[in-house]
Amino acid sequence: MTLRTTADLLAAGLIDPADAQALARVADRYAIALTPAMRALIGTPDDDIGRQFLPDPAELVTAAHESPDPIADDALSPLKGIVHRYPDRALLKPLLICPVYCRFCFRREHVGPDGGVLTQAELDAAYAWLRARPAIREVILTGGDPLMLSPRRLGAIVAALSAIPHVEIIRVHTRVPLADPARVTPALAEALATERAMFVAVHANSAREFTDAAGAALRLLLAQGIPLLGQSVLLRGVNDTPEAMEGLLRAMLRARVKPYYLHQLDAAPGTARFAVPIEEGRALLAALRGRVTGLAWPTYVLDLPGGHGKVPLGPSHTGTHS
């Protein structure tokens, strides 16, 4: 059973009773969910999995530079469920529910178990908006996590997007295959079938998330002919050493997930304990140069505050990787 309250976490021995009161205040503000698959990987609350999903009293402290909407999703939303940041692509967020609630999430003020499921009328308005904009060639389904939808609802959304003539690419961003692999059934994988180019970007931050069950879930997606991309966030205490990052990138490749983006942490409220300075991130990646295959190399990026898009952070490439 997914653990969703501080009482659940206390009963499971995952939080310190001395912190219970503060954590109840955290839970009032930010959703909690810990799936059995992720629970099984936690050895100590402060390990690479525990840090990602267990609430911490430090979340009650918002630093001066942190913002509830660090990359301006709200400011760039022309209608409910759509974010339009770049000319050739748009985000569609059909729901704001996730399998787990990551303590560093940049949408943490918005995501949650009650959240944001678009009605059919709202979906229809989003499709009409996309249809009227032929410059948009790619729709990125995100949220929340689109694989939390039922196969029927997900399939209907994929079909509706596929029917828009200028939508050439559909990309789905998800944590489900690793965080809750049992949710990926053959029916859910089939719901992603389309004549369009479909990509699935899998969010993972630690090699240990690539369990056997996750591998099986990913193979169901691969069996649909869907290329898999990896996206990660550079996180203090999770993947901030060359060894941990190398392990993560190699685990992705073994699972046939091509590392795509490594994100610098966005300044969402109460996330400072995860911050790794950009210079340290650059040095970490530089330490991997020549040590790991070029296939494993992600693009290290920062989403500029204010919604101005992504900038690559390097390290600069002076040679070829093979």
Contact 52, 287 (CB under 8 A): no
146-185 mask for ligand SF4 (x: CB under 6 A)? -----------------------------x----------
Determine the Cα–Cα distance for residues 280 and 266; give it in Å rounded to an integer: 16
The least CB distance from residue 34 to ligand SF4, in Å, is 12
Is the four-CA dihedral 171, 173, 179, 183 of positive or negative sign? negative
Query: By CB under 6 A, is residue 218 in contact with ligand SF4?
Result: no
Site string for ligand SF4, 70-99 (x = CB under 6 A): ----------------------------x-
Mark out the alpha helices in the chain (DSSP H runs). Answer: 6-11, 20-29, 36-39, 50-53, 120-131, 151-162, 176-179, 186-190, 212-222, 242-254, 278-288
Catalytic residue set: 85-86, 89, 98, 102, 105, 107, 266, 303, 310
Exactly one of 111, 154, 245, 265 binds ligand SF4 (CB under 6 A); that residue is 111
Q: Is 199 in the site for ligand SF4 (CB under 6 A)?
A: no
Length of the chain: 322
Amino acid of residue 259: P
Binding test (CB under 6 A) with ligand SF4, winner from 37, 105, 265, 296? 105
107 lies in the site for ligand SF4, by CB under 6 A? yes
> Is residue 209 near ligand SF4 by the rule CB under 6 A?
no
Contact status: 103 vs ligand SF4 (CB under 6 A): no
Nearest to 167 by CA among 92, 226, 116, 93: 92
